[in-house]
């Protein structure tokens, strides 16, 4: 069947539009034409790059795991995957693989099969854990009678990433307060830098020192730049506008620098931006993502805005408060995003900005979706901690909340919709179950 489809696709391609293959990547006029060849709707995670067939398909039409691993292998490794292919190399596991070939990504994730697809591109029925763990209640009496479609409910287990859910972790964080004593996020790099380097050790550039050729200079732009973190860090106009960093400012002036112009100094931000849903089209060599191409609800008047660094940062005067909230809601228009402004987190964020709250005590959209690491680097991949939701526990919530409170909140679908305004209405039982388990072992 697959073969047949590919052959007919190939023949149609040759016959109908010989240039289609060549035109597919990046050419938007070819896009509407080539969706005809998609056997069904592509998953939420990949719809942006669905026109780039070759990202996943080999020239003969087949798909191998290697394509998935090329893009996702690193992240699964970092997430300490609970079920990596290597776990099944041991011959004693062979009988399990007869039921479900867990060494192959395509056993559980396929594409263009809308009617089979659950969230996160999963295409196996939700009770599939049963195939390998039907005996679980033998060792774990607490699991007797649990439904087999409940194993992967929020707050219990995930198939891949259990970093916030494994037993010793749950045990270690049992009994923590809902809100910790000093609820704080790490500071941004620039904040750390300004706090550690005395003013006398810095040598900011002034407007007079800008090195753009006169025909590209306006007083307004120059004043904005002179007031920016770049001028403060002695980064001149040529730092971004010159393709040839060794020549003087006038030679090879690039009028509209793209994200690559930032990479020389901000490679971490550029790399992480490119692997999330804001930058993945650019990474695939396609035109930038725009709200018009989105499946999520977006503001109509933002339809044609392009997602690059300038979508959130005015390159001449980056404003971090603007980037962390105002920029986001200028595009996003779903109920979660709209509700944020009424949450107590937003109040904390306003207090931080006005100086009433300590640095790091506020919670903006970016606090949750673009968290800072200990060194103050800002994660620019909004999907890094997005799904499954417990990924956000360690990177964000636990800076300020206890684990029980965090898991309860993340498991509550209503709180997702109202952006965590109000307490959770449900309780994840895992921490209690782990406590009982360790106590019963002690007794034995």
Q: Which stretch binds ligand HEC (CB under 6 A): 46-54, 138-146, 427-435, 436-444?
A: 46-54
> Does 329 participate in binding ligand HEC (rule CB under 6 A)?
yes
Q: Shortest approach of ligand HEC to residue 109 CB, angstroms?
A: 4
Structure-block tokens of residue 322: 């603007």
Q: Which stretch binds ligand HEC (CB under 6 A): 14-22, 168-176, 227-235, 431-439?
A: 227-235
Instruction: Tell me which residue of 391, 337, 387 sits closest to 366, measured CA to CA.
Output: 337
3-state secondary structure of 53: helix
* Distance separating alpha carbons of residues 347 and 364, to the nearest angstrom: 9
Structure-block tokens of residue 375: 């060194």
DSSP letter string over 363-379? Answer: --HHHHHS-B-TT-PBP
Give the C-alpha distances (Å, rounded to integers) separating 93 from 33, 88, 365.
46, 6, 44
x/- site string to ligand HEC, residues 103 to 142, per CB under 6 A?
--xxxxxxxx-------xxx-x---xx-xxx---------
Residues binding ligand HEC: number (CB under 6 A): 174
Q: Shortest approach of ligand HEC to residue 114 CB, angstroms?
A: 12
> Does 30 participate in binding ligand HEC (rule CB under 6 A)?
no
> Does 170 participate in binding ligand HEC (rule CB under 6 A)?
no
- The only residue of 98, 199, 219, 256 in contact with ligand HEC, by rule CB under 6 A: 256
Phi, psi of 374 (to 5 degrees): -60, -35
Q: Which stretch binds ligand HEC (CB under 6 A): 14-22, 196-204, 343-351, 430-438?
A: 343-351
CB atoms closer than 10 angstroms to residue 428:
25
Q: Shortest approach of ligand HEC to residue 194 CB, angstroms?
A: 9
Q: Shortest approach of ligand HEC to residue 156 CB, angstroms?
A: 7
Buried b (16+ CB within 10 A) or exposed e, 336-346: bbebbeebebb
> Does 2 participate in binding ligand HEC (rule CB under 6 A)?
yes
- How big is the chain, counted in residues? 444
- Which of 50, 170 has the CB closer to ligand HEC? 50
> Does 100 participate in binding ligand HEC (rule CB under 6 A)?
yes
Q: Shortest approach of ligand HEC to residue 391 CB, angstroms?
A: 7
Q: Shortest approach of ligand HEC to residue 211 CB, angstroms?
A: 7
> Does 428 participate in binding ligand HEC (rule CB under 6 A)?
no
- Which of 23, 284 has the CB closer to ligand HEC? 284
Residues numbered 288 to 327 that lie near ligand HEC (CB under 6 A) are 289, 291, 294-296, 302, 305, 307, 309-313, 315-316, 318, 320, 323-325, 327
CA dihedral 310, 313, 316, 318 (to 10 degrees): -170
- The only residue of 30, 170, 280, 431 in contact with ligand HEC, by rule CB under 6 A: 280
> Does 282 participate in binding ligand HEC (rule CB under 6 A)?
no
Q: Shortest approach of ligand HEC to residue 30 CB, angstroms?
A: 10
* Distance separating alpha carbons of residues 306 and 301, to the nearest angstrom: 12
Is residue 286 within 8 A of residue 296, CB to CB? The reply is no
Give the C-alpha distances (Å, rounded to integers) separating 352 from 31, 317, 363, 399, 400.
45, 21, 9, 16, 15
Buried b (16+ CB within 10 A) or exposed e, 348-364: bbbebeeeebeebbbbb
- The only residue of 30, 117, 170, 276 in contact with ligand HEC, by rule CB under 6 A: 276
Q: Shortest approach of ligand HEC to residue 442 CB, angstroms?
A: 20
- Which of 15, 256 has the CB closer to ligand HEC? 256
* Distance separating alpha carbons of residues 123 and 125, to the nearest angstrom: 7
Q: Shortest approach of ligand HEC to residue 19 CB, angstroms?
A: 15
């Amino acid at each position: 069947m697959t073969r047949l489809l590919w052959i007919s696709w190939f023949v149609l391609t040759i016959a109908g539009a010989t240039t289609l293959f060549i035109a597919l990547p990046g050419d938007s006029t070819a896009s509407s034409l080539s969706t005809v060849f998609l056997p069904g709707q592509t998953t939420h995670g990949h719809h942006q790059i669905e026109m780039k067939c070759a990202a996943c398909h080999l020239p003969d039409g087949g798909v191998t795991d290697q394509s998935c691993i090329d893009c996702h292998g690193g992240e699964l490794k970092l997430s300490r995957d609970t079920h990596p292919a290597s776990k099944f190399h041991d011959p004693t596991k062979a009988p399990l693989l007869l039921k479900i070939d867990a060494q192959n990504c395509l056993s559980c994730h396929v594409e263009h099969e809308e009617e089979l697809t659950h969230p996160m591109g999963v295409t196996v029925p939700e009770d599939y854990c049963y195939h390998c763990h039907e005996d679980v209640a033998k060792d774990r009496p607490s699991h007797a009678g649990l439904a087999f479609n409940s194993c992967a409910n929020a707050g219990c287990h995930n198939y891949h990433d259990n970093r916030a859910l494994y037993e010793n972790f749950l045990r270690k964080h049992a009994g923590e307060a809902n809100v910790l004593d000093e609820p704080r996020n790490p500071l941004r790099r620039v904040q750390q830098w300004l706090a550690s380097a005395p003013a006398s050790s810095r040598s900011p550039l002034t407007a007079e020192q800008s090195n753009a050729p006169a025909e590209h200079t306006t007083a307004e732009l120059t004043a904005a730049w002179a007031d920016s973190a770049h001028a403060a860090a002695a980064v001149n106009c040529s730092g971004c506008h010159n393709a040839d960093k060794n020549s003087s400012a006038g030679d090879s002036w690039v009028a509209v620098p793209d994200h690559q112009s930032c990479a020389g100094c901000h490679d971490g931000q550029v790399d992480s931006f490119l692997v999330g849903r804001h930058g993945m089209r650019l990474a695939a060599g396609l035109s930038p993502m725009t709200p018009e191409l989105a499946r999520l609800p977006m503001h109509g008047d933002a339809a044609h805005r392009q997602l690059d660094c300038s979508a959130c940062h005015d390159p001449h005067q980056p404003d971090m408060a603007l980037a962390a909230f105002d920029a986001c809601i200028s595009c996003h228009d779903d109920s979660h995003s709209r509700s944020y402004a009424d949450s107590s987190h937003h109040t904390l964020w306003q207090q931080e900005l006005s100086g009433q709250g300590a640095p790091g005590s506020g919670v903006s959209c970016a606090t949750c979706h673009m968290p800072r690491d200990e060194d103050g680097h800002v994660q620019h991949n909004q999907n890094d901690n997005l799904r499954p939701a417990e990924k956000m526990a360690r990177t964000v919530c636990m800076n300020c909340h206890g684990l029980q409170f965090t898991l309860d909140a993340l498991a509550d679908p209503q709180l997702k919709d109202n952006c965590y305004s109000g307490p959770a209405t449900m309780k994840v039982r895992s921490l209690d179950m782990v406590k009982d388990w360790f106590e019963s072992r002690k007794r034995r």
